[in-house]
Chains A and B, each alone.
Chain A
Amino acid sequence: MALRFLAKHAVRLVLTVLIAGLLGAALVRIAPAFGVSEQELDPRLSREFVQGQRPEPVGILRYYGQFLYGVAHGDFGESPSLQRPIGELLRERLPVSLENLAFGAGAGIVLGFLCAMVAVVFRSPLARAVPVASSTVLLSLPSAALGLLFLLAGWPPAMALTAVVFPRVYRYSAAVLARSADASHVLAARARGVSPGRILCVHVLPGAAPQLLAIVGMAISLGFPALVPIEAVCDSPGVMQLALKAAMARDLPLLVVLTMVASVVVLIGNAAADISSDVLRRES
């Protein structure tokens, strides 16, 4: 059962990435400045060969097939603007971005959940007002501006991501927990004099767990793309900074690979949350 489940998600992930890649390839193919980059992307054509020959039109599917063949052999092609193999760039920069994501989004999720729990347990106006006010302000600042502010303050870029993720996680999880706390059996437990801590842990959280996991997935899929402006302005050498550089340099092959990488991260985040929340639902 669980295996079929995993398989379903894996298939969905692979399919989405493949389709995304195809669309990307189509974009590269029809882009005006394509002539050169296409040949450079093709791993089987040597540089001299390209220079010696006029570029021959290649069909999108064929081009995409060649690209996939290269990816399967660990070769993502070469970035025309940086004149370096894309695989090497990824190896260099992906860990930086993943670290930013892990620390930044992780802290945002933990902080958001904590604030939501505190607001649900202690229904004091203060326990609500502080996170609501701070999340409203944070939600009103574009992530690039947050990144710059944190840069000026001398804080790491991951913290800017925390500031992006926290308000959203707080909003959703506070709503989810409030709904779960409104259940009749929670009221019944309160009427029996059960302590607030126990009510939260035994009656409110288990009911809300699947949705909370979905929020974790959302935080990841929202956090990774949010790294684009943050890494760009904070000069953090991750893949997302590379994406902006690629866009500025109109380096489509690199952009397509980066889009696929980002989709994989986003989809894995979503799928992990889906799977675990489904498993939880099944058990209860």
Chain B
Amino acid sequence: MSTPSLLTLHAAVSGGGSLLAATLELDYPNKPGALRGVSFDIEAGEIVGLIGESGSGKSSVAMCLMRLLRARGTRLRGSIRFDGRDLLASSEREMRRIRGRDIGLVLQSPLASLNPMLRVGAQMAEAWRAHRSTSNEQMRGEIARAMEMVSLPSTDEFLRRYPRQLSVGLAQRVLIAMAILHRPKLLIADEPTSALDVITSAEILKLFARLNRELGMAILFISHDLLSVAALCHRVAIMKSGELVECAPAARIFAAPAHPYTRELVAALPRMPGAPDQLPVSSTNLSTAIEKMAGLP
């Protein structure tokens, strides 16, 4: 139990009933070993945070889970078990069914992830029709419900806007609304808050907590910000240059970081006034502070 690999291995084996269990080995043509033995699992209804510096391979994990990498020379090995299915053995057609319906993905850059030439309503409708063929009224109702859930107005005026008429925060909400349209069992959010200002980002964090609570959605929350992850997530996985160095409940990451890199990360956090010099803020202090900041219960 002392080394991280044993720890994660244990988690993967014991989590037979978990929603997602993945072990990933990824080579890009110009970067072999982009992911090396990254293995983790996610229980149904659980929020797992994935943390790491820029270029550590967080987005690559998300791409692998959805099998979205198809550039020539990109090689993905390992195993991805999701909801009793082996995703690596699935055909592209089966994967298409799963994408958007069983696993939702919110990509890293909100404005770039919307087609600049299509109105918001058209993109919403496309996301719905990709998996359902229902009457237009029913579709509109569902879209309105999803938009309400992310606190967006579902007025005609809003649906007729083009992406360039949206702020980054609004675009992010539109993307989240599209991702939860089909109530996926797992939502992967790739740095959903890093392009946002502090207040908007706190609102989005609150939104994820609510989605998790109300829809029972499992969430893989990718971020480079330890504070927001600690506030939101049940468990935190930490990545460094293509490897998963530690995966533990949020409280333990702060109280007893096992890996040197984790210790470094925790030590790099801003200190609360009045706290002793050498130590970072105690975990309880910190999480209450963060919860206040994020407005969580």
Q: Is B126 an interface residue (CB 8 A)?
A: yes
Q: Is A191 a contact partner of B126 (Cβ separation < 8 A)?
A: no
Give the residues in chain A near B26, CB-CB below 8 Å. none
Q: Is A123 a contact partner of B70 (Cβ separation < 8 A)?
A: yes
Give the residues in chain A near B116, CB-CB below 8 Å. 185, 284
Assembly CA distance A203 to B179 (angstroms): 18
Q: Is B113 a contact partner of A188 (Cβ separation < 8 A)?
A: yes
Q: Is B100 an interface residue (CB 8 A)?
A: yes
Nearest B residue (CB) for A186: B115
Closest 8 CB pairs of A and B: A193-B100, A192-B100, A184-B112, A188-B113, A193-B99, A191-B105, A185-B115, A193-B130
Assembly CA distance A190 to B179 (angstroms): 12
Give the residues in chain A near B230, CB-CB below 8 Å. none
Give the residues in chain A near B113, CB-CB below 8 Å. 184-185, 187-188
Q: Which of B107, B112, B114, B131 contacts A191 (CB 8 A)?
A: B107
Give the residues in chain B near A194, CB-CB below 8 Å. 100, 126-127, 130
Q: Is A141 an interface residue (CB 8 A)?
A: no
Assembly CA distance A195 to B116 (angstroms): 19
Q: Is B293 an interface residue (CB 8 A)?
A: no
Q: Is A191 a contact partner of B68 (Cβ separation < 8 A)?
A: yes
**A189/B97 contact (C-beta < 8 A), A184-B109, A203-B115 known:** no
Q: Is B130 a contact partner of A188 (Cβ separation < 8 A)?
A: no
Chain A residues numbered 193-246 whose CB sits less than 8 Å from any CB in chain B: 193-195, 198, 202-203, 206-207
6 A–B contacts, CB within 8 A, in A order: A189-B115, A191-B100, A192-B130, A195-B96, A203-B115, A284-B117
Interface residues in chain B, defined as those with a beta carbon under 8 Å from any beta carbon in chain A: 66, 68, 70, 72, 96-101, 105, 107, 109, 112-118, 126-127, 130-131, 175, 178-179
Q: B150 to nearest A CB, angstroms? A: 16
Q: Is A188 a contact partner of B175 (Cβ separation < 8 A)?
A: yes
The B interface, classified by DSSP as helix, strand, loop or mixed, is loop
Assembly CA distance A194 to B101 (angstroms): 11
Assembly CA distance A207 to B115 (angstroms): 9
Q: Which of B70, B99, B109 contacts A192 (CB 8 A)?
A: B99
Q: Is A191 a contact partner of B117 (Cβ separation < 8 A)?
A: no
Q: Is A193 a contact partner of B115 (Cβ separation < 8 A)?
A: no
Nearest A residue (CB) for B97: A193
Q: Which of B109, B118, B131 contacts A202 (CB 8 A)?
A: B118
Q: A92 to nearest B CB, angstroms? A: 47
Nearest B residue (CB) for A209: B117
Q: Is A183 an interface residue (CB 8 A)?
A: yes
Give the residues in chain A near B112, CB-CB below 8 Å. 183-185
Give the residues in chain B near A190, CB-CB below 8 Å. 68, 99
Give the residues in chain A near B117, CB-CB below 8 Å. 206-207, 284
Nearest B residue (CB) for A194: B130
Q: Is A193 a contact partner of B131 (Cβ separation < 8 A)?
A: yes
Give the residues in chain A near B96, CB-CB below 8 Å. 193, 195
Q: Is B130 a contact partner of A187 (Cβ separation < 8 A)?
A: no
Q: A190 to nearest B CB, angstroms? A: 6
Q: A210 to nearest B CB, angstroms? A: 12
Q: Is B107 a contact partner of A187 (Cβ separation < 8 A)?
A: yes
Q: Is B68 a contact partner of A189 (Cβ separation < 8 A)?
A: no
Assembly CA distance A195 to B100 (angstroms): 12
Give the residues in chain A near B175, CB-CB below 8 Å. 188
Give the residues in chain A near B99, CB-CB below 8 Å. 190-193
Assembly CA distance A183 to B117 (angstroms): 13
Assembly CA distance A224 to B196 (angstroms): 54
Give the residues in chain B near A202, CB-CB below 8 Å. 115, 118, 126
Give the residues in chain B near A198, CB-CB below 8 Å. 126, 130
Instruction: Flag A35-48 by CB within 8 Å of B: 1 or 0 each.
Output: 00000000000000
Assembly CA distance A216 to B87 (angstroms): 42
Nearest A residue (CB) for B113: A188
Give the residues in chain B near A187, CB-CB below 8 Å. 68, 107, 113
Give the residues in chain A near B118, CB-CB below 8 Å. 202
Q: B131 to nearest A CB, angstroms? A: 6
**A192/B107 contact (C-beta < 8 A), A185-B115, A203-B115 known:** no
Q: B219 to nearest A CB, angstroms? A: 15
Assembly CA distance A183 to B101 (angstroms): 22
Q: Is A191 a contact partner of B115 (Cβ separation < 8 A)?
A: no
Assembly CA distance A97 to B270 (angstroms): 76
Give the residues in chain B near A188, CB-CB below 8 Å. 105, 107, 113-114, 175
Assembly CA distance A185 to B126 (angstroms): 13
Assembly CA distance A35 to B280 (angstroms): 97
Q: A131 to nearest B CB, angstroms? A: 15
Nearest A residue (CB) for B188: A191
Q: B172 to nearest A CB, angstroms? A: 12
Q: Is B68 a contact partner of A195 (Cβ separation < 8 A)?
A: no
Give the residues in chain A near B127, CB-CB below 8 Å. 192, 194
Q: Which of B72, B98, B109, B114 contacts A193 (CB 8 A)?
A: B98
Give the residues in chain A near B105, CB-CB below 8 Å. 188, 191-192
Q: B254 to nearest A CB, angstroms? A: 33
Known: A191-B107, A194-B130. 14 other contacts (CB 8 A): A123-B70, A185-B112, A185-B116, A188-B113, A190-B68, A190-B99, A191-B99, A191-B105, A193-B96, A193-B98, A193-B99, A193-B130, A195-B130, A198-B126
